[in-house]
A and B are shown apart, each in its own frame.
Chain A
């Protein structure tokens, strides 16, 4: 099993990922809601605060109008119109005291109908349009208010007709001109840090901050609130403009975001760890099973792993099923081992018990020949020799069948083998037994084989021995060995120029005790190629044969070429 394919990491990652996604969605929702709440709260606070400012402004302006009206109605003021001496004596100091009464810095003046000052608290400068406006005040006999802009400075002008009591006629105008910043200065500044309220002239871009009177340029960031004023002030368009520092929303949001992010991180990490821990609990029994499965030794079945608590859930049932399967496999393995053992003991019996009588047949025939020679004629002796030959032959057959059966059971250890070199060694041995025959072995280049050295040697012994045997009629025997590398197999061949065989019987050539030549033509039991086939098949390869009567034979075989480990153990 690959460790990187751990269920624990996968479940942990999935749980962590899902939690992260959930937390992210929650976080966005939370952020939006908080933003809305904070904005709403701030707007509410700003509105309340602005309302206070509006009220104070209105109060101030109303008080100004009331004071002015009271002054205009004052007999002393009206009297001063006629009393030129008294003007300086009391009216001007009186007017100067007006400033103290209202707390506003401005100019209060008593003018004639043309706006010309009769008495003044300071220097009164009026615009060119002032005369017409004053005329209206005089004509209507009612107080009026207006904005005027003089030399770039906005100011509020209030005018009240002064009625001479004796005649009941309007004899002059009491006028007050106060710079707009002065109105703003007189009102308390915003009570909220980061919030600014200003007094603005409706429709203009000029405004002044309450409390200080500092000018401020209006932008889109300001909210406008019209100030409703009673007559005569209603004719001047005044607004309270407000602006809140964006930080008032951003800072608490940022702080909340941090808190949320930390909480989210803790939750995500916690959930991930919890999921991993939980899945580890689930996986631990699986790992125990895995370990039990990979290390289970059928030769010494140990079922104690099944006793370990696996619970009664799916994993528990899996473990129980696994244990039951292992139990059945163990039984089957035991049966198989017993069958193998039986087979081995059978082989042993065959090898021992069949050979003993054969030896007796041969031995006593020989003794008969040796000791009763005189009493046996030639035919009798020949018959006894036939008995002996067959006894020996049967011994060979028994040896061969045992060898064949052992080939199927031997352990196989795959190593790289140089078949060319091995063939040379085998060939040298074989040539010793071939007397003075002329035999040549040509070894062509071939890829190294991967297989059990001993078994591949047996393959070469059998193939080369066959080649030596079936080339006996040739004056010069030529045996050729070669091979080539294919995709995932290497193929090899042994070719000879011997008597060959009939391709009609090619299917029989690898069979046990199958011989394509009469017994007396070439010796042998017919086990050689059967053993070759068995060895090659056990290596995961294939065998084939090609031949033609009297024109040589080629036996080929393939072996898996490394890496893939196709070797059947």
Chain B
């Protein structure tokens, strides 16, 4: 998985259509070069915490952003978020929850777990691609600045 070294964005999304739209939106702004897409929560956790690697995720240390859907097969997005924010090695990676859900319960829980942004995916593609692009730009930039500082 040497390719992981270069990964900057992890997209966790079960809907192929949403994933494609997200990719297109990021691509349009030149942000999709180093992106990995996994389709469920279990894969996300495997990617972030590779099995057998006691030392922990060296590679995800390069991650600049996790785009996380909440409704995922196998392991839910909330569970993935809990894992990321519970582990000191991954805690600093910005996690943006991108979800269709407009239910308040999720918002509250996500912020309680320490999510960096919570964005409800608009139905309109124009708005959606703008939201995704804005998020990607903002968090990649913020993360670059903060990691330079560190």
A interface list, Cβ under 8 A from B: 344, 347-348, 351-353, 355-360, 362-367, 388, 391-392, 394-396, 399, 402
Q: Which chain A residues lie closer than 8 Å to B21 at the CB level?
A: 359-360, 363-364
A363–B102 alpha-carbon span in the complex (Å) = 20
Interface string of B70-83 (1 = CB under 8 A from A): 11000000000000
Contact A359 B128, CB 8 Å, known A347-B103, A348-B103, A391-B123: yes
Check B147 for interface membership: any CB of A closer than 8 A.
no
Cβ of A348 and Cβ of B121 under 8 Å apart? no
Query: B100 and A363: CB pair below 8 A?
Result: no
Could you give 18 example pairs across A and B, Cβ below 8 Å?
A: A344-B103, A351-B101, A352-B70, A352-B101, A355-B121, A355-B123, A356-B100, A358-B123, A359-B121, A359-B128, A362-B124, A363-B125, A365-B125, A366-B126, A367-B24, A388-B125, A392-B123, A395-B122
| Contact residues in A for B59 (Cβ distance below 8 Å) | none
Question: By the criterion CB–CB under 8 Å, are A359 and B103 in contact?
Answer: no
A402 cross-chain contacts in B, Cβ below 8 A: 102
Instruction: Report which residue of A356, A358, A391 has the largest number of chain B beta carbons within 10 angstroms of its beta carbon.
Output: A356
Option from B24, B71, B125 in Cβ contact (under 8 Å) with A352: B71
B101 and A348 form a contact (CB under 8 A): yes
User: For A362, what are the chain B residues with a Cβ–Cβ distance below 8 Å?
Assistant: 123-125
Q: Which residues of B contact A366 (CB under 8 A)?
A: 125-126
Task: From known contacts A359-B128, A363-B21, infer whether A352 and B123 are also in contact, taking CB-CB under 8 Å.
Answer: no
| Chain B residue at minimal CB-CB distance from A402 | B102
**CA separation between A484 and B15, bound complex, in Å?**
54
The contact string, 1 if C-beta is below 8 Å from chain A, for chain B 99-122, is: 111110100000000000000011
Verify B128–A352 contact, CB threshold 8 A: no
Complexed CA–CA distance, A396 and B125 (Å)? 14
Given A352-B71, A364-B17, A367-B24: A359 in contact with B99 (beta carbons within 8 A): no
Q: CB-defined interface of B1-30 with A at 8 Å, one 1/0 digit per residue?
A: 000000000000001011011001000000
Taking the closest CB of chain A, its distance from the CB of B132, in whole angstroms, is: 11
Contacts of A348 in B (CB 8 A): 101, 103
Whole-angstrom CA separation of A363 from B127 in the bound complex = 10
Contacts of A365 on B, CB cut-off 8 Å? 125
Task: Say whether, besides A366-B125, A366-B126, A399 and B17 are in contact (CB < 8 Å).
Answer: no
Please name the residue on chain A nearest to B13 by beta carbon. A356
In the complex, are the beta carbons of A395 and B126 less than 8 A apart?
A: no
- With a cutoff of 8 Å between Cβ atoms, the chain B residues found around residue A359 in the complex are 17-18, 21, 100, 121-123, 125, 128
Beta-carbon contact of B17 and A357 below 8 Å: yes
How many angstroms from the CA of A358 to the CA of B124 in the assembled complex? 8
Closest Cβ of chain B to A323, distance in Å, is 34
**A322: min CB distance to chain B, Å:** 35
Instruction: Kindly identify, within residues 64 to 100 of chain B, every residue whose CB is under 8 Å from any CB belonging to chain A.
Output: 70-71, 99-100
Bound Cα distance A351, B122 (Å): 11
Tell me whether A392 and B124 are in contact in the complex, defined as CB-CB below 8 angstroms, given that A356-B15, A359-B17, A359-B18 are known contacts.
yes
Cβ–Cβ contact A356 & B124, under 8 A: no
Q: Is the CB of A363 within 8 A of B103?
A: no
- Contact across chains for B17 and A360 when beta carbons are under 8 A apart: yes
Q: How far is the CB of B145 from chain A (nearest CB, A)?
A: 31
The interface residues of chain A lying within 8 Å CB-to-CB of B103 are 344, 347-348, 351
Q: Who on chain A is nearest to B121 by CB?
A: A359
Query: What would 6 more interface pairs be, CB under 8 Å, given A359-B17, A365-B125?
Result: A356-B18, A360-B21, A388-B125, A394-B123, A395-B124, A399-B102
Specify which chain A residues have a CB less than 8 angstroms from the CB of B20 in the assembled complex.
363
A385: shortest Cβ distance to chain B, in Å?
Answer: 12
Contacts of A347 in B (CB 8 A): 103
Nearest chain B CB to A545's CB is how many angstroms away?
A: 29
Known contacts A362-B124, A395-B123, A352 near B17 by CB under 8 Å? no
Inside 8 A of B129's CB, which chain A residues have their CB?
363
In the complex, what distance in Å separates the CA atom of A399 from the CA atom of B103?
Answer: 10
State A396–B70 Cα separation when bound (angstroms): 21
How far, in whole Å, are A363 and B126 apart by their CA atoms in the complex?
8
Complex: chain B residue closest to A355, CB-CB? B100
A367 to B100, CA, bound (A): 20
Write the chain A residue with the least CB distance to B14. A356
Per CB-CB distance, the 5 closest pairs between chain A and chain B, nearest first, are A395-B123, A360-B17, A363-B125, A355-B100, A352-B100
